[in-house]
Amino acid sequence: MSLVEARIGESYRAELVATGGTPPYTWSLATGSLPAGIGLSAGGVISGVPATTADISLVFGVTDAKGRISVSPGLVFVTAPDRRTVIARGGTIFIDSAGDSVSLFLASPADGYSAVIVESGGFR
């Protein structure tokens, strides 16, 4: 089973579905662990806001009401968010990269304004 791709810093939700056996079902991780920021409920809902990129192989376990257990391998992919374009029309802009790299491209405006980049711990 391959789950829908998650993105760092964006809300994620996927639901595992069991068939056969006797409901209700209880889900767990048989092996592996989910990426930081994402959790699995006993009802089979994987949700959260991932904090890091990941490419993880897991084994999900499901137990039915009669105690019968089934396992299924799964893959979880977490990727960096898409590029963002910010257009500043005055004021101050703060960019929190949460551990990712940030590329800044400045264009000199024709009306004589200037741009200043101030780092607060981490530029190289």
Specify the pLDDT at position 80. 79
Cα–Cα distance for residue pair 117/113, rounded to 1 Å? 14
From 80, 88, 109, 110, select the one nearest 9 (Cα to Cα). Answer: 80
Average pLDDT along the chain: 80
pLDDT at 100 over 90: no
Which strand ranges, in their side-by-side order, compose the sheet holding 12-15? 12-15, 45-48, 38-40
Which residues lie below 8 Å from residue 120, measured CB to CB, with a gap of 6+?
A: none
The owner of tokens 């940030």 is 102
Specify the pLDDT at position 88. 64
Cα–Cα distance for residue pair 36/9, rounded to 1 Å? 11
pLDDT at 1 over 80: no
75 or 39: whose pLDDT is higher?
Answer: 39
Say what the pTM is.
0.64
- CATH topology assigned to domain 6-79: Immunoglobulin-like (2.60.40)
Please report which confidence band the pLDDT of residue 56 belongs to, taking 50, 70 and 90 as the band edges. confident
